[in-house]
Amino acid sequence: MRLKDRVALVTGMAMGIGQGVAELFAQEGAAVIGIDIDEKLGNQVAGGIVSKGGRCQFLVGDVGSEESVRTCVQAGLDQFGRIDVLVNVVGIAAECPVDKLELAEWDRILRVNLTSVYLTSKFVLPGMLDQKRGSIIHVSSVQALLGFPGYPHYAASKGAIISLTRQMASE
């Protein structure tokens, strides 16, 4: 069990890659703190992890909201005492070419896909720095490097994740 006695926070845990990461990390021995906006699916995933003998705390949260992220991170710390691994998986997309894209939709995609990476990192880093260990994994997309028509906001958010990751590593 490669993650025995580790605590991992996973964003976007209710489905897709986030669900897969949460389930695999739990199988490998980690206690999982899952954050997602979808309460029903998040509870189902958490229940599945627990039913297989894993440890999981599911928290309903908006990862694009500073207060929500702060509250979720603190709840995870209260439950497990620390966070050793952060996996930023959450991502949303909606097709719309740039000339038809409304600013509100641009802001929504960047808030969920990019601002969430900044916020979760901001709130888990102090603990990782104090304990002098930790891993942060940001999931981006091939679309960060190759443009696909109709997804300018998604591509911009995923490209920015790569740049933010490089910046954080240099710090």
Q: Active-site residue 154, yes or no? A: yes
Residue type, 87: V
Whether 23 and 98 have beta carbons less than 8 Å apart is answered as no
User: Which is the catalytic residue, given 58, 80, 151, 154?
Assistant: 154
Cα 156 to Cα 144: distance, rounded to the nearest angstrom? 7
23 CB neighbour count, 10 Å cutoff: 19
Question: By three-state DSSP, how is residue 129 classified?
Answer: helix
**Encoded tokens for 31:** 């206690």
- The set of catalytic residues is 154
